[in-house]
Amino acid sequence: MRTLLSLGGIGLLCALLLAGVQDLTGEAIDRNRNAHAWRTAFELTGKRFDTNGLEWREGRLRLPDGGWLQRSATPGYVGDIHLLAAFNAKGRLTGARVVRHRETPGLGDFIDLDKSPWMRRFSESSPRAVDAVTGATITSEAVKRGVERMIEAQKMNSPSAHPPRRLGILNIREQRPQDAQRGVVLVPPQRDGRLGTVRIDSLVQSPAFGIAAKTLAH
Amino acid sequence: MGAEKPSTFSRAAIERNPAWAQLLGLCPLLAVSNSLVNAAGLALASGFVMLGSALTISALRAWIPQLVRLPCFVLVIATFTTLSVMLLEAYAFELYLRVALFVQIIVSNCMILGRVEAFASRQPPMQAGLDALGTAAGFALALLALGGVREALGQGSLFAGMEHLFGPAAANWRIELGGEQPLLLALLPPGAFIIAGVLLGLGNAVRNRRRAGMDSTKTGEA
């Protein structure tokens, strides 16, 4: 009984302490987090805007000028690399940043803007044209893939793109060329050189397969 | 602070230096010490947790049942760790972004649990506080030594990024050591082990000499 009382007492004390400090710092913490997120956003879009009433929905934040911010994560060398990308009103990528990562310090941390300007290249050229960094191929490719995927996802989501179709399982060897030309079926090359069966609707999102689709269309 | 009998503080900081003498808390030590600013940040946070937990536990020691003392200690340490995370995030956000992950694992730093169990839970708050300060200072010393060496070797600079910790005025504390290619190994985990080993050896040499000097029966052992 005594044990229980003292355990409870200490728990209560700790809880009070935590609640007190939380109360004290909560506002400052929220302010810091928001300010940090917006700083990144302003820096990324290259302009300041009124942030009132803006909120994230499914990893996407619409901006007053018609553009939007997109969040995503891509597996890097150590854990996920969290990316933030800005698109303008026309749906073009205007820039991308790494907001959180655990890549190897000294080797993989060039994706931090305060370590290297590498991330700025994504605002100038397509992800494929960005050079990987020697000694950190996995990290480089992960970021490139992540950005590319966001671009691809945005193309797929825009109204002009084909509405997603559920075509079921399809044997690619029997796929008609006109399907491939419509961009509906994108196929990864199989390891043994043959093409396999894939679920169409789950692959459409994936930019890494674009080349395979082209080959198929020929 | 007599020379004959070292005080609680210096005993905790030097003779029983948590990192170099007791080899405690090596995980955060090796993980965060890749630059001076990170080292200083973690040292401050660890010191805060160490001091807060030691004082609390010492003050409550009469009420902590022997049987469940470890859960109580961990609870108190976890509380102070969470507090330090909140305070960092509220008042040193830039630093928080860099060291948050490692501050959170202070809770499992056996240096703190060890000192609390071995000392603070048996001593009055005054003594416990001194011991905690000494332990924290010793840990900070180890962190800064390792951080300094690793930053100098790995980045060719010292005090880089101190403005994240001490405000904009510290931005020009940065010292460029120049030199040619920085030694990347020093920044990577294997480098941390190697440098920590070398520093540990040096620390042992210093302590052995000190002991030899204090002990009159033993003469001049290098």
ipTM of the complex: 0.71
Please list every residue in chain A whose beta carbon sits closer than 8 Å to the beta carbon of residue B154: 106
* Boundary residue ending a domain (A130, A157, A184): A157
Q: Give the domain-ending residue among A108, A123, A157.
A: A157
Q: Where are the beta strands (DSSP E) in A76-147?
A: 80-87, 93-100
Are A64 and A120 in the same domain? yes
Name the residue facing A6 among B65, B91, B184 (closest C-beta).
Answer: B65
DSSP helix, strand, coil percent of chain B (3-state; round to 5) = 75, 0, 25
Residue with tokens 């839970």: B121
Q: Give the closest residue to B210 by CA, choosing from B198, B221, B199.
A: B221
Supply the pLDDT for residue B83: 92
Q: In sequence order, what E strands does chain B have?
A: 157-158, 175-176
Whether residue A3 and residue B65 make contact (CB cut-off 8 A), yes or no, is yes
* Residue B98: closest CA among B189, B145, B164, B180: B164
The residue ranges of chain B whose pLDDT is under 50 are 1-4, 218, 220-222
Contacts of residue B39, defined as CB under 8 A and 6 or more positions apart, other chains included, come to B32, B33, B140, B143, B144, B146, B147, B148
Residue A144 belongs to what domain range?
60-157
Contact (Cβ atoms closer than 8 angstroms) between residue B119 and residue B56: no
Residue A149 and residue A198 share a domain: no
**What sign results for the dihedral spanned by CA atoms B85, B86, B89, B91?**
negative
Specify whether A70 is located in the same domain as A121.
yes
**φ/ψ (deg, to 5) at A87:** -115, 145
Rounded to the nearest angstrom, the minimum Cα separation between A106 and chain B is 6
Closest residue in B to A34 (Cα) is B93
Answer whether A181's CB lies under 8 Å from A152's CB: no
Q: Which chain A residues are within 8 Å of B86, Cβ to Cβ?
A: 21-22, 25, 29
- Encoded tokens for B163: 């403005």
Contact residues, chain A, for B89 at CB < 8 Å: 25, 29, 32-33
Q: Which pLDDT belongs to residue A163? A: 43
Query: Does the distance separating the beta carbons of B75 and A14 come in below 8 Å?
Result: yes
Quickly count: other Cβ atoms within 10 Å of residue B104's Cβ: 15
- Residue A128 tokens, joined: 């494929």
A46 belongs to a structural domain? no
Q: Which of B83, B90, B96 sits opposite A17 (nearest CB)?
A: B83
DSSP secondary structure letter of residue B14? I
Collect all residues of chain A within an 8 Å Cβ-Cβ radius of residue B83. Answer: 17-18, 21
pLDDT at residue B180, rounded to an integer: 64
Domain assignment present for residue A188? The answer is: yes
Contact A107 B91 (CB under 8 A): no
Nearest-by-CA chain A residue for B182: A106
* Per-residue confidence (pLDDT) for residue B199, from 0 to 100: 86
Q: A152 and A210: one domain?
A: no
* One domain for residues A146 and A69: yes
Structure tokens at A83: 């990316």
From first CA to last CA, the distance across chain B in angstroms is 27
Chain B: residue nearest A35 by CA?
Answer: B93
Residues A82 and A119 in one domain: yes
Q: Are residues A117 and A199 in the same domain?
A: no
> How far apart are the C-alpha atoms of B37 and B163, rounded to whole Å?
9
Amino acid occupying residue B30: L
- The C-alpha atoms of residue B202 and residue B198 are separated, in whole angstroms, by 6
For A84, B130, B204, the CA distances from A160, given in Å and listed in that order, are: 24, 70, 71
Ranges under pLDDT 50 in chain A? 159-175, 180-218
Last residue of a domain, one of A112, A129, A157: A157
CA distances to A30, A31, A103, B4, B181 from A27, rounded to whole Å, are: 5, 6, 31, 51, 45
Instruction: Name the minimum distance, in Å, from the CA of B195 to any CA of chain A.
Output: 17
Q: What token pair was written down for B135?
A: 């332990």
Number of domains composing chain A:
2
**Could you count the other beta carbons within 10 Å of the beta carbon of residue A48?**
10
For residue A71, give the H/E element and its range. Answer: strand A68-75
Domain membership flag for residue A37: no
Task: Give the distance between the most distant pair of CA atoms in chain B.
Answer: 60
- Nearest-Cα distance to chain B for A51, in Å, is 20
CB contact under 8 A, B184 and A107: yes
Q: How far does B71 lie from chain A, in Å, by closest CA?
A: 9
Residues of A in contact with B188 (CB under 8 A): 104-107
**Phi then psi for B98, rounded to 5 degrees?**
-85, -40
What sign does the CA torsion over B64, B65, B69, B71 have?
negative
CB of A10 within 8 Å of a chain B CB? The answer is yes
